[in-house]
Amino acid sequence: MHQDIERVLFDEHEIRNGIDRVAQSVTRIMGAEEFTVVSVLKGSCIFASDLIRRIPVPLQLAFVAARSYGDGTTAGKLEIDLVPTGGEIEGRRMLLVDDILDTGRTMACLKKVLLERGAAEVRTCVFLDKPARREVEFNADFKVFCVEDLFVVGYGLDYAGRYRNLPYVGALRPELYTPEPDEVPRAATQTQ
C-alpha cells in the first residue's frame, strides 16, 4: 500500500494533535448537554472513533451511510441510507461527522435530512476540508485540516474500497486513478 502513496500530507502525530484541538473545541461548544455524534459511513469511522474518545462528556453515537456514485474519484449521485430513526433523532442535538468536505453536497444533504426528521440542532465536523472543490455553499462548524485539490486516501478515506487502514493521509499516485487517454471509462463504482 505504502508504495501507492506519492506523498504523506498528515502523519499520525499531526493527526493526533489536530484531533485533540478539535475535540477541545467540540467539548467547549457542545459539551454542556448530552449530544449525539452521527458518523457518516464508511469514511468517517476512524476519525469519529478517535474524536469521541477525546471528548470527555456524555454523548451518544449513531451512523448514517451515504454513497456517491461517480467514476471513483469524483462525486456523482448521492444515495442515503441507514438514517437514525425516531427517538435517536427527535429533539437531539447532533454533531454530524464526515471524513472530507469536497463539493459539500453530502453534508448539506445529510444536515437537511436530520433537521427534517426532528433534530433540535445539527452542527458539522469534518476531518478534511477541500474548499477549492465546493459546489454548494457549506462551511463545517469544526474541521481538523484543509487540503489542496488532490485525491487523498488513508485514515478512513478510500480509493475503490482500499487504503482506509493507512494510519496517515496521503496523496495517491495520480497514475493509479487517471484513466489513460485510450482507456474505456470505468463503469460506475461506489465510493463511501
Active-site annotation, residues:
102
Q: Does 104 bind Mg ion (CB under 5 A)?
A: no
Q: How far is the CB of 31 from ligand 5GP (least distance, A)?
A: 25
CB atoms within 10 A of CB 11: 12
Site mask, Mg ion, residues 30-49, x = CB under 5 A? -------------x------
Q: CB of residue 8 vs ligand 5GP: minimum separation in angstroms?
A: 14
- For residue 168, the minimal CB distance to ligand 5GP (Å) is 13
User: Which one, 27 or 133, has the nearer CB to Mg ion?
Assistant: 133
Decide which of Mg ion, ligand 5GP, none touches 101; Cβ closer than 5 to 8 Å per partner kind.
Answer: ligand 5GP
Select the binding partner of residue 26 from Mg ion, ligand 5GP, none (C-beta < 5 to 8 A, by kind): none
130 CB burial (10 A radius; 0-12, 13-18, 19+): buried
Among all residues, whose Cβ is closest to Mg ion? Answer: 43
Listed in sequence order, the residues at least 6 apart from 118 whose beta carbon sits closer than 8 Å to its beta carbon are: 89, 90, 91
Q: Taking CB under 5 A as the criterion, which residues in 154-183 touch Mg ion?
A: none
151 binds, among Mg ion, ligand 5GP, none (CB under 5 to 8 A by kind): ligand 5GP
Report d(CA 10, CA 46) in Å as an integer: 15
Compute the least distance from the CB of residue 104 to ligand 5GP, in Å.
Answer: 5
From CA 19, how far away is CA 23, in angstroms rounded? 6
DSSP state of 157: B
All residues at 6 or more sequence positions from 79 whose CB lies less than 8 Å from its CB, including other chains: 66, 67, 68, 69
Question: For 69, how many CA atoms within 13 A lie in the half-sphere containing its CB?
Answer: 7
Is the CB of 43 or the CB of 84 nearer to Mg ion?
43
Cα(82)–Cα(26) distance, rounded to whole angstroms? 25
Q: Which does 124 bind (CB under 5 to 8 A by kind): ligand 5GP, Mg ion, none?
A: none
The binding site for Mg ion (CB under 5 A) comprises: 43
